[in-house]
Structure 1
Amino acid sequence: MSQQQSTEDPYTIISSDTHAGLPTELYRDYLATRHHAAFDGFLAEREAQLKAITDLGVRNEDFAANWFETNEEVLRSGWEVDRRDLELDKDGVTGEVIFPDADAVESRTCVPFGAGLGLSGDMDPELGLAGAQAHNRWLAELCKTSPERRRGVALIPITADLPDVLAEIRRIKDDGLGAVMIPAMWMNQTPYHDRKYDPVWALCEELELPVVTHSGPADRESYGNHLGIYVQEVTWWPARPLWFLLWAGVFERFPRLKFGVTEAGCWWVGNMLWFMDRLLLGSRGAAKLAGFEEIKLLPSEYFDRNCFIGASNTKRREIGMRYEIGIGNICWGNDFPHPEGTWPDTLNILRKTFGDVPVAETRVMLGEAVAGVYGFDLEVLKPHAARIGVTPGTLGQTGPDGKVRDLESKWAAAKEIGRHWITGHDVAAVVDPNVQALEV
């Protein structure tokens, strides 16, 4: 995009992370009748669990009461299509990638048998798949209301019986869903480096279905009611499968497979790529080790080719690290309608976060990157973007004359440094060429 981009040219903003789900009891109609008795037991157990965590002080009852009282009508957009579109429009969002569990406060919209954001490798394989299928069926109906604006993420418990898993992946593709969410934690099942999962990766590659994890599950039994520990670690678990797949050669065997980590931030990516690359670029510690035979590229090259980050509520610090992370690897998200996301104040937050970021780079992180991963048609979305009307001026990227400001020069040094272990630059060397660049 040109520096002279006018304020009349809108952004196509696509959230890589929104949530939708029925009030849990309404999933009954999407469950096979043979599972109804188990579903009744699940509903009763869920109410008991909510009371237990309230009694322990883990759940902030005052916050929950205020949240639902303040947003009672709006929260119905978690499953009511017309209301949902109105809320997304007001939030500046043209398109969305939809994950389960619209309610992140009391789990009133959780998927049957806990197979939503809590999808885990140790679930009962039959009930876990049944709950996932119920949500997948409903989600496909939701997405068909505005298929150009929505990409639904199907729940696939890949640690279940492989023939059933592959059949469900084929079914959700035929039903119009656009990605596959796998358990972030395989628990006591086979880890993801094992070749038993190759048929899953092969099928997702063939069907052009991105494979994603999402934050939520963690080692809760170890934390007790110490939620600070949970918050510290909850972004690590969905990221962990990434390096299992990378070092196991999955991205070498399946070069067109796309793998994403959602709602786990992206602040850790630059350091991870530096650490992994240096293992192959000269680390003495790795020189004595075997087991790298399947790795033909640098880890950062696999990451750029195969991976992406659903960077919900992307922080200013993370935007400042974008040249190490890779601009095209950052897919912004608003986490609608969860209270920890940017909704319903997205536009104000985007001004603070992107106000001095070059427009062309902003367009990539706010929409073009996620469109490429999930297959949104940017041309088809243009009328929605024009109607919603978020422009560089909306984000404070224009001057008094209405023209886009020179935002590139501020970031020129950081862009030149990029991944310093690849470019050979560091901050001092860019400012003073007589300073020796940092070693890998």
Structure 2
Amino acid sequence: MRNEHELRRVVVNEMHLRRWPALMPDCTVIQILRQVTEAERDKEREALSQLPAGATPDPSPNPRHFQARFADGIIFGWERHSEATAATLFIQRSAEFALDPTADQQVATALGWLMDLPGKIVRATRIAVVGDEASAQAMLPRFAFAIDDIVSCHVGDGARIWSDFHLRDDGFGAVLVAANGMPASDLSRTVQRLQELGNYRNLALLGLPIAQRGWKVFDTIEAELAMLGARIGSAEVTDDALLTEVTGLSMELMTEAASSDFRMSATEAYGRLVEERLDDLCIRPCAGFQSLADFTQRRFQPAIRTCAAHRRRGEVLAGRTAQFISLFRTRVETRIENQNGRLLHSMERSISTQLRLQQLVEGLSVVALSYYLIGLIGYVLKGAEKAVPALPATAIAAVLVPFVVLATWFAIHRLKARIFRH
């Protein structure tokens, strides 16, 4: 098609996510959720292209999904998420494989290949799906769930689950599901949502250790900020010393925020997905047992609130640091203004002194010039007195003194005015 948007097919394929195969009672689902880095994506794709002998791939238009048939009754499904990958084995043979996957060579081979995929395992679960609660009660003792921690409730349109959410010696968790007559498609969607709930829960909880570790960093930063706040008013502490300390604190705070912000944002997003999956599962409690909703709310929500508090505290400390920097800037600016004021006052005194000196020099200049002019006039009058003996040269010179002084002062004043105008 001409002029087709380059992302159109990606968007369309995204709206057609591959569902799980229809699950019939008396089957096993084994799923491993891994956190895969960008550097491991190529290895993951290479591993998917090298299926065990006899496996038949099922092409998918969406590069985030892949499915293959390993053997009769063994289907492999692969799905990529933003930062994790879910790889699932659907064993439509017996629920017993949830207890011992090595009981069948083909199942053991498929599981061995599954375990070798790249990435760090975040969650691994074996799910046994049986027909009804009577069959589940018969298998329940073999799962050896912890009595005090067992979770059991109805989900979906009638199915019931049992689990203690503990890890077995092989690192897998175990879930027992009684279909109770649910249609295969509905049962498949219910178990898939159940798995998504657990997967999103574990991905969300990855932020808890980071938040707990960051809490200690924030404690240190907060204490140092309090000390700096007390020292900023002290004149004994230099600006350079304060600048060095506040810069170090800002860098430490920025480093902590940068290293944890993505994880805290992801935890918040996964937390909302967990809430959505809880609503989708339509959980109904069973007498004598804690329900999946109770288990999740009691243990999961405090962790989510801790991560949210970590982000809020980081924002508060960033605001306090900004306020401290503002106060520090005010201190420096005030000090500079005071220095400038003292400098201006000193310059004012210097200019005033120079002005007085200038006026004194001008006065002396008027006197000196007047003295010389009167001397010259005196020479002229003495010469005229010899020619005209009756001429009173001395009296005339005395009378001319004030006029000469005024004329000299006026001439100098006019000359200075002309110089300043230019």
Give the TM bin, normalised by the shorter chain. under 0.3
Structure holding more helix per residue: 2
Structure showing greater radius of gyration is 2
Structure holding more strand per residue: 2
So what's the TM-score if we normalise by structure 1? 0.25
Structure showing greater relative contact order (alpha-carbon pairs closer than 8 Å, 6 or more residues apart) = 1
